[in-house]
Structure 1
């Protein structure tokens, strides 16, 4: 697997698309082992996608795109403004709350960051927020979106690691809210120091209830999602199908902003999104085939346990490795390739798979906000025409907030597992 890994890194440095880098480097393992039937390289990409639970990925992506097309986003924007626009750094606080609300709609940090860069970014810069600060607020708050269900990364982790997606969703709900609180405090402190004021006067009770009423259908979705799984009415894949129908009903019959042409356009966009993700998933089957054959999980487990068998130190080592990996690799790829390696190690030191999975996915997704190859970072900087140097200069308060939150959650697993244990036992 050493040659496979080296080739993979070389291909990435050359700028080869991630899916091809995974598939072609994975073929090298079979060239090294001629005793293995080469026909396996054809079978693996097909078998990798023949997983019923994997249906949840395209269904939730389609549901998220439908909700974005149905007028939900602008209503959530109004609600966020009503709730937090009167605070220090009003528009920045709006970004935090909007990303939290979008967690039940989008499930993608990159999609949320790109949307907010277009909707909030120009207003923030016009009202005196520095460009670097604006880009960081929009990028880092999108991390909440990927944590609150239905985050695509969490679905991938649950599917690959055979961990309860219902428990992961419940855990992500609470962790996402804690992340919202942490980032709101960070925005309040940094905005106060920079002199960024409120966007508006404090909303009246009537305005708050009016905004909640307009957004109630979007706010209800994560609750219905968890309720459906907990009650046994839906499997995670069936919840994805329910989400698509739910989005169509809300957009077409309640908000009346979703027509046939919009649905067709949304379906076309979803095909592109799903195609890219599923292509990576399919070819990761070739890359990952040699991992158990060469006993990589056991070798890595023995190496790390040789340093320490303390579960907290082991978790710190794993998370440290993931911080570095997240800076250079796509999050979906890391989840697909490293869940089979790190999850057995976590279990070996009695770390709960749900506790580990939420921190695992959070740190990996954080790579979208950090240089050198953070996709959310680049998307926001490109949309707002912001130099990368300005972004990096204003990044550290948000970076340390997320790291501190992850460390706290690592030492207090009951915070992460409270809601899953309450709902699922």
Structure 2
């Protein structure tokens, strides 16, 4: 295992693509193994590609791009703007609300952050918000997409850890809403102190709010339909992904009348580009996943943790600390694919619900995308908005602290996370 880890870290440090780093480290295991032929490694790559549950990933990625092209994003922005722009830090509140709503559309934190940096970022700066504060709000609010269904990370976690994706989707709703509230309160306190309040701000009338809600109804209805169809047994998570694609096309063409053939082609091209990267990482992880199991890494790690700590909550907290640190340096998709087979058997042995653990894990590993040194969402937002990283980091600290406090609270109160899955299943 030391050889695999060393090769993986070496290629990451020299800047090689993540999929190459994973593939070469897995390849090294089979080349140096005396008992495991290289052909098994090739079979493991092929076996990953034959997974039916994994079909949910390309379907939801394509659905997200189609919904962006169909005018759904614009309507969600209008609804969010009318609903909360009158508050202190109004545009920051709009960003947080929009991330919550977009979590049910894109399923990707980086995609959400990039979109908002282009749409809301310039408006925040024009209205007197500091660049660092604007970038921090936009980047960290995109973390909500890690738990709000259909989170791509939750799909991968459920697939690798053999955990019900339907239960994970339901479990992510309350933590996502709580994260929205925590971030909104933090933004409100900072905005109030700095007087980030629009001069002409006013509360919307019931009519304005109702009209905006009605215009965005198809976007707001989608996450609800997603949960109902899975829970009702109408679709599996993979099948509901294909339903999402059809839904996006029908809404874009017949309801919004904005989705043209050129838009569909552009959405397909963007989805193929995203999936090329995601699927190559997933396929290469097949070899490493097998090596981790073969070398009995979960048992070794479990023995080390269980011998040093006796309290299950303390052990889970230690694992979450490891995940948070790892998330600072490695992309969340990679961590889910590599570490889920190690930690899920451990937390099951402790009697911890893997659904509860999955929500906390996805939150922390995705948080690495918003923090230095290798945060993809952080660098994306800073590049689009021309913000210095040090300014972003300083302004992000209150939001980061609020999120960590929330994660700790959810760790101590598992019933909050598991309330909806237990109610529905």
TM-score by length of 2: 0.99
In structure 1, distance between residues paired with 2:266 and 2:151? 23
Give the deviation of 1:34 after TM superposition: 3.0
* Match in the other structure for 2:241: 240
Give the deviation of 1:109 after TM superposition: 0.3
In structure 2, distance between residues paired with 1:25 and 1:420? 37
Aligned to 1:351, the other structure's residue is in SS state: coil
* Match in the other structure for 2:164: 164
In structure 2, distance between residues paired with 1:308 and 1:61? 40
- CA displacement, residues 96-115 of structure 1 (integer Å, 9 cap, x when unaligned): 10101101111100000000
Alignment RMSD, CA only?
0.9
- CA displacement, residues 124-182 of structure 1 (integer Å, 9 cap, x when unaligned): 11111111111100000001122110000000000111111111000111111111111
Count of aligned residue pairs for this structure pair: 424
In structure 2, distance between residues paired with 1:390 and 1:49? 42
Any residues of structure 2 matched to 1:97-108 within 5 Å, and which?
Answer: 97-108=97-108
* Match in the other structure for 2:154: 154
In structure 1, distance between residues paired with 2:68 and 2:14? 35
Aligned to 2:216, the other structure's residue is in SS state: helix
In structure 1, distance between residues paired with 2:296 and 2:115? 43
Give the deviation of 1:59 after TM superposition: 0.3
Any residues of structure 2 matched to 1:10-49 within 5 Å, and which?
Answer: 10-49=10-49
* Match in the other structure for 1:123: 123
1:368 aligns to 2:363 (yes or no): no
- Which runs of no fewer than 5 residues in structure 1 stay unpaired? none
* Match in the other structure for 1:340: 341
In structure 2, distance between residues paired with 1:30 and 1:400? 43
* Match in the other structure for 1:81: 81
* Match in the other structure for 2:64: 64
- CA displacement, residues 235-292 of structure 1 (integer Å, 9 cap, x when unaligned): 0000000000000000010000001111111111111111110000000111222111
Task: Report if the CA contact (8 A) 1:54-1:159 is conserved.
Answer: yes
In structure 1, distance between residues paired with 2:243 and 2:165? 16
In structure 2, distance between residues paired with 1:200 and 1:375? 34
Give the deviation of 1:53 after TM superposition: 0.2
Give every structure 1 segment of 4 or more consecutive aligned residues whose post-TM-superposition deviation is greater than 3 Å.
none
In structure 1, distance between residues paired with 2:142 and 2:35? 47
In structure 2, distance between residues paired with 1:43 and 1:350? 33
In structure 2, distance between residues paired with 1:180 and 1:395? 15
* Match in the other structure for 1:421: 422
* Match in the other structure for 2:413: 412
In structure 2, distance between residues paired with 1:285 and 1:42? 9
1:194 aligns to 2:210 (yes or no): no
Task: Report if the CA contact (8 A) 1:310-1:349 is conserved.
Answer: no
In structure 2, distance between residues paired with 1:108 and 1:121? 18
In structure 1, distance between residues paired with 2:146 and 2:357? 16
In structure 2, distance between residues paired with 1:145 and 1:80? 16
Give the deviation of 1:32 after TM superposition: 2.0
Give the deviation of 1:310 after TM superposition: 1.1
In structure 1, distance between residues paired with 2:49 and 2:313? 34
In structure 1, distance between residues paired with 2:359 and 2:261? 37
* Match in the other structure for 1:175: 175
* Match in the other structure for 1:90: 90
Q: Which moved more, 1:388-397 or 1:189-198?
A: 189-198
- CA displacement, residues 346-367 of structure 1 (integer Å, 9 cap, x when unaligned): 1111110110010011111101
Give the deviation of 1:41 after TM superposition: 2.3
- CA displacement, residues 349-390 of structure 1 (integer Å, 9 cap, x when unaligned): 111011001001111110110100000000000001111111
- Which runs of no fewer than 5 residues in structure 2 stay unpaired? none
TM-score by length of 1: 0.99
Give the deviation of 1:13 after TM superposition: 0.4
Q: Which moved more, 1:259-268 or 1:226-235?
A: 259-268
Task: Report if the CA contact (8 A) 1:381-1:387 is conserved.
Answer: yes
